[in-house]
Structure 1
Amino acid sequence: MTTQHQHLVYGHATAHDCLAFADAGTATEEAAEIRALAAARTWGEARQVRMTHLWNPAGPDYHDPEDGYADDKPFDVTGVGAVADGRWPRMVTERAFTVLPQDLQDRYGKRQVTVHDGDYLEIPVAGEGELVAELRERGYEVTRDDALINQLGGSRLGSLAS
């Protein structure tokens, strides 16, 4: 058994009604990027949102001003194709595949396949205590933050604009 020195944030992901885990080192900054895009009032503002951890689905590579997305045109993040299709931000429940040890994924989770969005790891809330205890035994720092987890998954994205 290897010892980790990683800080994870986790919480109840309401979209899939299960636990989700993310790297705490970048989670807050990623959530800030999601909120910044959601807060943009025009397409020009949306295009200017700088993304360090995520890609900008309203960026000039995806929505050219000459195609009806003028800088002064009102912006609604929920109307962006990648957001409406569920491709941005990516499912927070898929992150467990990269942040949790494989043996714990196998023991506590079940791979779920979606038609359009890829796979995610369904970790029942009932296993929270045991899973968190095992992670801590292995040297992980684990913090629960339901609001942050759901922001990372794009939950209530339209309401972040207000």
Structure 2
Amino acid sequence: MTTHHPNTRRLVYGHATNHDCLAFIDADTAAGEAAEIRALAAARTWGEARQVQMTHLENPAGPECYEEDDYADDKPFDITELGAIVDGYWPRMVTARALDVLPQDLQDRYGEVVLTVHNGEYLQVPLDGEAELIAKLGERGYEVTRDDDLINLLDGLGLGSVTA
């Protein structure tokens, strides 16, 4: 087991297919978010979907998004038909996370802020800057792990094929 200093920032990064660039997220919440996405994707009925407990993300099938009267508990549930997912609002764009977790000077040097029409800003970090950026983060005491599958799951890629 790797021990790390309690103040060490742990990041997971990878190639975000949707934007063809690198994405960076907080490693401490990434696994929990992924579990919540998988749990919702595995729900077979609206009742199951509503019961998915979420602490990191908002449940896009929850009562604040859908009237229970319209979607009976036993009605079949398909995550790919959820409005928030169809419209691209859930889960939050994974490439936007770099704006929260990367030091500002490194954002300025290695990335470019891109404004999307519907989902706000994200940081476009070109793939060719990977080695240098990861080295710089290491110099500053960041623990950085690459996991493309996790990054793309958190971006909502291929949700229809996700199974718990």
- In the superposition, the TM-score normalised over structure 1's length comes to 0.95
User: How many pairs are equivalent?
Assistant: 158
Q: Secondary structure, in 3 states, of the residue corresponding to 2:113?
A: strand
Structure 1 residues 1-162: aligned runs within 5 Å = 5-67=8-70, 69-161=71-163
For 1:123, the aligned partner's letter is V
Per-residue deviation at 1:64?
Answer: 1.6
Per-residue deviation at 1:5?
Answer: 1.6
- In the superposition, the TM-score normalised over structure 2's length comes to 0.94
Alpha-carbon distance between aligned partners in 1 of 2:73 and 2:85, rounded to the nearest angstrom: 19
Point out where structure 1 has 5 or more consecutive residues left out of the alignment: none
Q: What do residues 79-132 of structure 1 show as CA deviations (whole Å, max 9, x unaligned)?
A: 111111100000000000000000000000001111001110000010000000
4+ runs deviating over 4 angstroms = none
Identical counterparts, % of pairs:
70
- Whether the 8 Å CA contact 1:40–1:161 is kept in 2: the answer is no
Point out where structure 2 has 5 or more consecutive residues left out of the alignment: 1-6
For 1:63, the aligned partner's letter is Y
Alpha-carbon distance between aligned partners in 2 of 1:57 and 1:25, rounded to the nearest angstrom: 22
